[in-house]
Amino acid sequence: MLTPRPAHHRGHANHGWLDSYHTFSFANYFDANHMGFGPLRVINDDRIAAGRGFGTHGHRDMEIITYVLDGAIAHKDSMGSGSTIEPGNVQRMSAGSGVLHSEFNPRTDKPTHMLQIWIEPDVSGIAPEYEEKKFSDAQKRGRLCQLVSPDGADGSMVIHQDARLYAGLFDGAESATLPLAAGRSAWVHLARGNLTVNGQKLGEGDALALSEEAKVVLEEGANAEVLVFELPSNDR
């Protein structure tokens, strides 16, 4: 079964310094039909003004992934981690028993465009963890590159959930297929460009949920950058 989630159906909040689109219910945006997809709880498509950002705030028992599309985001946390994440670098933070962190756009000349992703863990109360890794365009060109997984497969970062996240870049005749085993589902989020997924045409910000499908087929891309989540079958 294929269930589209058009970009213009997402929740939207514009705070001036932050322009954010919410794929699932978040903060003041509530939609009982879009509370998440399996353990995938949040995909926020954020644009942060130059020199602005999120002050110190707390998280616990959540796997948080930051994927930067344009610009940069500076991160500092109570674990002593601190870095500036740019396109190609992916951040993974397991909030566990609790962590404080801040995120801001260090650039004074341009906004930052990033995706903030939350995945519910399958354990609670663990010691917080932080990891960052670079994935080149070459690793994603015309294929799906595994960014996070429960087992570190293919050099991916480890999260505490039976979920896998892939990213790919597709143009023209480039294509890829991701098999889905029985009991597995997928969520496809198109970060930019255009792409056909299992025969469905997607544009920037569009998403597609796949349940009881044998595979995810990506083709007919035009400047496409896509994220594919492979997840336990959705029960929500």
Closest CA to 79 of 130, 133, 137, 155: 130
Q: What pLDDT does residue 234 have?
A: 66
pLDDT at 76: 76
The CA distances from residue 165 to 40, 114, 162, 198, 236, in Å, are 10, 16, 10, 18, 20
Instruction: Round the average pLDDT of the chain to a whole number and report it.
Output: 92
CATH number for position 188: 2.60.120.10
Q: What tens digit of pLDDT does each residue of 140-196 get? A: 999 999 999 999 999 999 999 999 999 999 999 999 999 999 999 999 999 999 999
Q: How far apart are CA 159 and CA 45, in angstroms?
A: 21
pLDDT at 102: 78
Domain count, the chain: 1
Cα separations (Å) of 173 from 133, 162, 176, 184, 207?
Answer: 29, 32, 10, 27, 21
How many whole angstroms separate alpha carbon 154 and alpha carbon 104?
31
Grade residue 57 by pLDDT with cuts at 50, 70 and 90.
confident
What is the tens place of the pLDDT at every residue in 212-223? 999 999 999 999
- Rounded Cα gap, residues 208 and 5, in angstroms: 6
Q: Of 17-31, 32-46, 86-100, 164-178, which range is least confident?
A: 86-100
Q: Which pLDDT tens digit goes with each residue over 106-156?
A: 888 999 999 999 999 999 998 988 899 999 999 999 999 999 999 999 999
pLDDT in tens, 85-97: 899 999 998 888 8
Distance between the two ends of the chain, CA-based, in angstroms?
Answer: 15
236 pLDDT higher than 60 = no
- The candidate with the shortest Cα–Cα distance to 75, out of 114, 98, 106, 46, is 106
pTM: 0.95
User: Of 207, 236, 230, nearest to 5 (Cα)?
Assistant: 207
Q: What share of the chain in percent tops pLDDT 90?
A: 78
Full residue range of the structural domain in which residue 121 is found: 2-232
